[in-house]
Structure 1
Amino acid sequence: MSAKITRATKEDVPELLQLITELAIYEKAEHEVKATPELMVKNVFDNEYAECLIARRETEDGSKGEAIALALYFFTYSTWLAAPGLYLEDLYVKANCRNMGIGKRLFGELGQIAKDRGCKRVEWRVLKWNEPSIAFYTQCLKADDLSEWDTMRIEGDEKIQRLITDFRKP
């Protein structure tokens, strides 16, 4: 199967949300998806907090093919490297399109974007139980497993407000 990878646009939002929902189902977290078309347009395309690649099945007649994969990413900064990094928030390939090289191609595109932007690292997280993905990342991509790091998170308006109320002093 042949696929075309492009930078996603506002017109792709319905299909991006479908892929994001499929990813959440795969990760057993569908109930956590709060994204809406309006929020995606506002935060990804208008405010440019993130960027997204979309892979589509190529068609013989040149029409827009089915969306089969996405890679949503944003940029970070490493004080130790004194350089930007690319953080991959979501990578998803439809189940019936896996093992066809689409994930590798998405990482190839991400590598080019990282190089073009002067990034010195590409990083992401993977659920510990997701052994097929871990094997792909470590064996095929030769990614380092940073298991000595834990992820910390403060999420939600109430918890963020607590930071302000309890810890921000004049």
Structure 2
Amino acid sequence: MSIHIRPALKNDCSLILSFIKGLADYEKLSHEVIATEQLLEDTLFSEQPRAHVFIAELDGEAAGFALYFYNYSTFLAKPGIYLEDLFVLPKYRGNKIGKALLVHLAKTAVEEGCGRFEWSVLDWNQPAIDFYRAMGAVGMDEWTVQRVSGEQLEQLANTKI
């Protein structure tokens, strides 16, 4: 079996959306998906893309994806890669596709002079946590993720100072 990792193309938006929906279903978050093919095209394939996608293929068949974007470490004074989503279709799991995507992203980070490569994982997803630890990831247990979205984001943006 042959794994090939390639950058996504504009005509992959339908495929990317299907991976996003598959991930959301796995994470029991399907009700939160509002992404559309058009929104993906607008944000991933504009003149200034907001994120980037690699597609993993196994023997020529699309098997998974990784969506990432660049962040910045002030302490390192270097960019970093933040992996937003990694998903492999259930029928292709166990074929080292997730590992291939992580290795490809790590190579990308090194080639681009990034100081780190990071991501979040749901605390109940023990198989993923175990997989990431086996790949050398270190849990940042002393950090908690904070988020403002939806109506709260609108309220914060409209707060009078």
Q: TM-score, normalised by structure 2?
A: 0.94
Match of 2:148 among 139, 147, 154: 154
What is the match of residue 76 of structure 1? 71
Tell me, yes or no, if structure 1 residue 165 matches structure 2 residue 150.
no
Match of 1:133 among 128, 131, 140: 128
Percent identity, please: 44
Aligned equivalents of 1:91 and 1:41: distance in 2? 19
What is the match of residue 33 of structure 1? 33
Runs of 4+ in 1 over 2 A off after TM superposition: 158-161
2:149 partner letter: E
- Post-superposition offset of 1:5: 1.1
Greater Rg over alpha carbons, structure: 1
Aligned equivalents of 2:125 and 2:92: distance in 1? 17
Residue aligned with 2:86, SS = strand
Aligned equivalents of 1:8 and 1:101: distance in 2? 20
Residue aligned with 2:21, SS = helix
Residue aligned with 2:79, SS = strand
What is the match of residue 45 of structure 1? 45
2:30 partner letter: E
- Post-superposition offset of 1:107: 1.0
For residues 141-164 of structure 1, give each alpha carbon's deviation from its aligned partner in whole angstroms, at most 9, with x where no partner exists: 1100011111100002x3223223
Match of 1:92 among 87, 93, 115: 87
Q: Which consecutive residues of structure 2, in runs of 5 or more, have no partner in the other structure?
A: none
Aligned equivalents of 1:110 and 1:165: distance in 2? 37
For residues 23-43 of structure 1, give each alpha carbon's deviation from its aligned partner in whole angstroms, at most 9, with x where no partner exists: 100001011111100000000
Aligned equivalents of 2:87 and 2:111: distance in 1? 23
Aligned equivalents of 1:164 and 1:34: distance in 2? 21
Aligned equivalents of 1:3 and 1:89: distance in 2? 21
- Post-superposition offset of 1:21: 0.5
- Post-superposition offset of 1:2: 2.0
What is the match of residue 62 of structure 1? none
1:41 partner letter: E
**How many pairs were matched up?**
160
